[in-house]
Structure formats: C-alpha cells, structure tokens
Amino acid sequence: MKKIGMSLIVVSQLCLGLVTSTTAIAAAKPISGVSCNDGFFVRTPDKHIHWINEETEDHVEVYDQSDDIYAMAQCGTGVVTVFEKIIDGNQQYNAIYSPNCMDIGSEKGLSSQIYQGKEKINRIDSKDGKLEIRFVNKTYLRGESCDSVHAD
C-alpha cells in the first residue's frame, strides 16, 4: 500500500511539473546563478532581458537586442555579460561590464565594453572585486577592478 501511495505522489508531481514547465517555457526565464544589486535577471521569449528588484518586484528592461547571451557573471556590485553574434559569417564575442546592472548590452549609461573579438571565453572569475576572463586559447583579460581589465 505504501508503494502504491508513493507511486501516485510521484506521478502526480511529474504531471504537475510537466504542466508548470509548459507554462514557464512561454514566460520569462530567470538567468540562474546571477544576482545583481538586490535583483535578478530574466530573459523573455524574444531574447530581451529584464532586471527585477527582489523587494519591490519592479522590473527594468536592460537589454532589447537579439544577440544570444553566451555568459553572465556577477562582478563587484554589477555584472559582466558576454554576447555571441555572427558578423560576416564569423562568431564574435562582446563583453560588457555594467556596475549598476543596467544597459548590459551596450556602452550606455555606466556600462563599458571590456572585450570584443573572435576568441571564445571559457571562464569568468570575479573575486574581491578583481576580474579575470580566460579564453579557450589560454590567454587572459585581468583587472584590479571589474571595469579595468586588460590583455596579458
């Protein structure tokens, strides 16, 4: 009897999960593992990104273009966002640092570009306000602060 009861619970949770997943696919999806300035980011189905304040639930659109996010990492009080795009048939990467979580895809407001090029990034590490970006060819961008990286 216990086995049947547990099986029914598991099946009902699976069904509920399927219904919830279908609904979530049509809505905005959180970008997991990244919080910024007492808020978090969500991506809408049209690839726009909004920052949502956790306390007030206010939201601000911080990216309205269609390039794919390749990576995103917290850095100091802000965020580093790397976008992947195709230019003249070649993959290109563009990294933007936003100290206030706004304008994450361009050099508007306080945001600044810290990298643009063809080298693929395979790690972003931020410790004690310092930033290190490692590329697949084992070269680095490093800085004493999140907005002061430089190539080795």
Q: Does 22 map to a domain?
A: no
Q: Does 143 map to a domain?
A: yes
Instruction: Show the 3-state SS of 125-149.
Output: EEECCEEEEEECCCCEEEECCCCCC
Tell me, what's the pLDDT at 152? 55
Average pLDDT rounded to a whole number, residues 127-132: 84
pLDDT for residue 24 is more than 50? no
Domain total for the chain? Answer: 1
Domain that includes residue 71, residue range: 29-151
Q: Does 54 map to a domain?
A: yes
Q: Cα dist. 138→33, 95, 120, 141, 151 in Å? A: 25, 17, 10, 10, 11
How distant is the alpha carbon of residue 33 from its chain centre? 8
pLDDT for residue 32 is more than 60? yes
CATH code of 123's domain: 2.40.128
Q: The pTM is what?
A: 0.76
pLDDT digits (tens, 9 = 90+) for 42-69: 998 888 999 999 999 898 999 988 788 8
